[in-house]
Chains A and B, each alone.
Chain A
């Protein structure tokens, strides 16, 4: 999702004639033996969008949770309008005018939209909640933000993208002095991101200090005025966005050049892979309210990139190919053998592997060791009566820990203690160990640091070169374009385009998607 770099609309004033509304000075927090934050400082000025950046493990989340009263600070001070404050609970932080929208939609699914927006602050009459007034206030705020939702409906009747907007509406309703948005755009499509940015700009112009935590560099350049970069729990630098190029920024974040990423330019388009029998052929594969009938063919040694906005059906298609969800229509043919996939197990038996986009909920088995996590799929396919011999276990685990540079290199480390990037690598190893013919990767580089990202991308290219058929799904179009031989574009739950990845730019893909949308408006489907 890229836009052209636009200069920020408001010229940031000199720091000298304004004081920050929030200042965190020399903050340190230690968890057991780990120094999560080491003398980190942060300044938030009113009327500014301040981007907080860093790889996974840099400490962004910890810093935010310290400001919002979730974690207690070991040393350092927090100043609000120049006065010292200590926040011992989220409520205290909110009372001081700090509002947060977390990456997970932290709302209550079984209550209504209005209740979610006003929970804890409901208008009351004689001690009882005034439901009509509550609905009225909610409707007003929603309309103000341009969100078309009936506040009386229950929250989980709506898709995640809408729920996230409600979360933001809740924060807006509080009229906070400081609004912290922790990775708010990861589940939004381009339209919703724009809507969010419009609201952010409006709030900024009204004097709110906004903290924007994000991995999307282009979004940062579009919306942020100032940025703070963290690395390994330490402050690297605070800079104005206008004064920093993308290259400089990445160098600040990972401390080295972008060579690793550049070196990934593959020989484009493995065109001779399209002859011969496809490993997997899907005809009319679809599922009610999830995916329209779709055709797809996968060949050996080829990377097929699936591009599309959120909600376009990319993950849904992947899940149907793997049997994670059952298809309502269509058929799957594996090397000329028709099969119905009733469960992931069937797919794995057919040499298909799938790495889910939600590694925490659908991949990581936290309390088991790295070794157990890695060998899980292989063991499952052998059944419980045939355990993997110890010697094989040791050999396989060692091999993949080295090949994928997994840290810490301890097979008995608990999976939940690894960083996101290393967890993702363990999960990748889990699938590679099953020696699949088809590997489906859904957002394998989401939410992980640039170093690990580059390693995984390199691995994908290597696997395809060795003959694997790879399906690569990512929200970052450059990533998809960098790795794919063939490109599949999706929108609104159906495939709208398929082409060889030769001379295709991000802009081309966006135009393909936009082109479909315009046609839909005319026909008024």
Chain B
């Protein structure tokens, strides 16, 4: 056996290295532009500051991205999460309005539970299309992505629906133990996912299914169950994200709620190091990735670029991150050692 690598080597080879490094660089850029960027102050029993805002704003994307991570690990993708979030917001808000006491705690709880259940069912629908009917994930979830917007608009009948319920608003703007509730919800889901995947065999089985589905099937892995579980979980996460977003504005605009959030989520997953080809995944990486994206959104007003540049910035970041992760690009940057052929087709065959 090779001798155990030193601590420095282990750090350098750790899969979290690149995402954390990217985040650190981004934060440094911000601090250089405005040294008070990282300042946090206590007020009214809560923490305030850029960092806190970032944590809170990262919640929706983080929630969606956590669900997305597991789906991607099974070689799938879930494009419908934005639509599911919109449906969650629409269902919750219409339920709150339709209830007897609009501002009651029980109303909020019931409406949110109902919304989440609907989203889990939608997730199971996706899972069934993929696992039972064997439809490609990209197209299976594309269906709900397209139809789901229509459904959410049908629920609100095309109107922007406003609600007035302090408990509901608290999800987005409240604080518990000095931290934003929204962020804590996301962290809870992260912990739940981590326990589910690493303390049980679910993580390993998901990875096996993602890396070689047929071998897993022949080894007795019931991929079907695993598949619709991850899509159901993705639906759950999207639903929670939708509630947070709706609670933020105390309203739901079915046309725009969660629009394109799937792209940000996929970005977060990719930045975090999970491969789009499926297989090994990293929830911690996704966590860092989501924070990265939220920090990026903050960076733009912070260093004084007009907000229209947001898209441009994201484009540059996506390209930079992918290039960093691409082994080919990394090989270009390193000095070419003699005797290191890049066997492009080695992927097609097996060694020797």
Contact = CB atoms under 8 A, between A and B. Distances in A.
On whether A and B touch (CB less than 8 Å), the answer reads yes
Contact of B201 (A104, A382, A408): A382
Contacts of A345: 220-222
A363 interface: yes
Interface string B224-240: 00100000000000000
Contacts of B202: 384
A386 B211 contact: no
B219 A430 contact: yes
A99 interface: no
A277 to B, nearest CB: 25
A365 B216 contact: yes
Interface in B176-204: 199-202, 204
Contact of B338 (A74, A324, A381): A74
Interface stretch (B54-62, B98-106, B262-270, B342-350): B342-350
Nearest to A106: B348
A324 B215 CA distance: 11
B352 A367 contact: no
A344 B217 contact: yes
B220 A361 contact: no
Contacts of B200: 384-387
Contact of B215 (A30, A36, A71, A361): A361
Contact of A31 (B204, B207, B222, B341): B341
Nearest to A74: B339
Contacts of A430: 219
Contacts of A388: 201
Interface stretch (A59-67, A173-181, A292-300): A59-67
B249 interface: no
Chain B interface residue number, banded: 35 or more
B208 interface: yes
Contacts of B212: 361-362, 364-366
B205 interface: yes
B7 interface: no
Interface in A179-234: none
Interface in A364-423: 364-368, 372, 376-377, 379-388, 408-410, 416-417, 419-420
A376 B219 contact: yes
B1 interface: yes
B221 A376 contact: yes
Nearest to A322: B218
Nearest to B280: A367
Interface in A460-496: none
Given A32-B340, A363-B218, A368 B207 contact: yes
B271 to A, nearest CB: 20
B214 interface: yes
Given A74-B341, A430-B219, A419 B351 contact: yes
Given A65-B343, A382-B201, A419 B215 contact: no
Given A30-B339, A324-B218, A368-B208, A419 B352 contact: yes
Nearest to B210: A367
B123 interface: no
A377 B349 CA distance: 25
B18 to A, nearest CB: 18
B221 A57 contact: no
Contacts of B218: 322, 324, 344, 354, 356, 362-363
B352 A62 contact: yes
A243 B151 CA distance: 79
Interface string A26-49: 001111100010000000000000
B279 interface: yes
Interface in A53-82: 56-62, 65, 70-72, 74-75
Contacts of B204: 368, 372, 379
Interface string A342-357: 0111001000001010
Interface in B291-346: 338-341, 343-345
A356 B216 CA distance: 12
Contacts of A124: none
Contacts of B201: 379, 382-388
A158 interface: no
Contacts of B350: 360, 416, 420
B205 A384 contact: yes
Interface in B1-51: 1
A180 to B, nearest CB: 14
A410 B220 CA distance: 25
Contacts of A364: 212, 215
B170 to A, nearest CB: 34
Interface in A298-331: 322, 324
Contacts of A61: 349, 352
Contact of A410 (B1, B222, B341): B1
A104 B215 CA distance: 19
A367 B339 CA distance: 25
B352 A58 contact: yes
Contacts of A420: 350
Which of B221, B349, B351 has the most C-beta atoms of chain A within 10 angstroms of its own C-beta? B351
A380 B352 contact: no
B146 to A, nearest CB: 27
Given A60-B352, A387-B200, A380 B222 contact: yes
A473 to B, nearest CB: 15
Which of B201, B219, B222, B226 has the most C-beta atoms of chain A within 10 angstroms of its own C-beta? B219
A421 to B, nearest CB: 11
A16 B10 CA distance: 57
Contact of A72 (B215, B222, B341): B341
Contacts of A72: 341
Contact of A57 (B216, B338, B343, B352): B352
Contacts of B211: 365-368
B345 A344 contact: no
Contacts of B279: 367
A379 B205 contact: yes
A409 B351 CA distance: 19
A420 B351 CA distance: 9
Nearest to A230: B352
B208 A104 contact: no
A410 B201 CA distance: 21
Contacts of A31: 340-341, 343
B343 A70 contact: yes
B214 A361 contact: yes
Contacts of A56: 352
A70 B345 CA distance: 7
Nearest to B278: A367
A60 B343 CA distance: 15
A376 B209 CA distance: 11
Nearest to A381: B220
B281 to A, nearest CB: 11
A363 B220 contact: no
B24 to A, nearest CB: 28
30 contacts: A31-B341, A32-B340, A60-B352, A61-B352, A65-B343, A70-B343, A70-B344, A71-B341, A102-B349, A322-B218, A344-B220, A345-B222, A354-B218, A356-B218, A361-B212, A362-B212, A364-B212, A364-B215, A365-B215, A367-B211, A367-B279, A380-B205, A380-B219, A381-B220, A384-B200, A384-B202, A388-B201, A409-B1, A417-B351, A430-B219
Given A61-B352, A386-B200, A388-B201, 9 more contacts: A29-B339, A72-B341, A354-B218, A364-B215, A365-B211, A365-B215, A367-B280, A380-B216, A380-B222
List the 6 closest pairs (A to B, CB-CB), nearest first.
Answer: A74-B339, A380-B220, A30-B339, A72-B341, A384-B202, A348-B220
Interface of A: 28-32, 36, 56-62, 65, 70-72, 74-75, 102, 104, 322, 324, 343-345, 348, 354, 356, 360-368, 372, 376-377, 379-388, 408-410, 416-417, 419-420, 430
Interface of B: 1, 199-202, 204-205, 207-208, 211-212, 214-222, 226, 279-280, 338-341, 343-345, 348-352
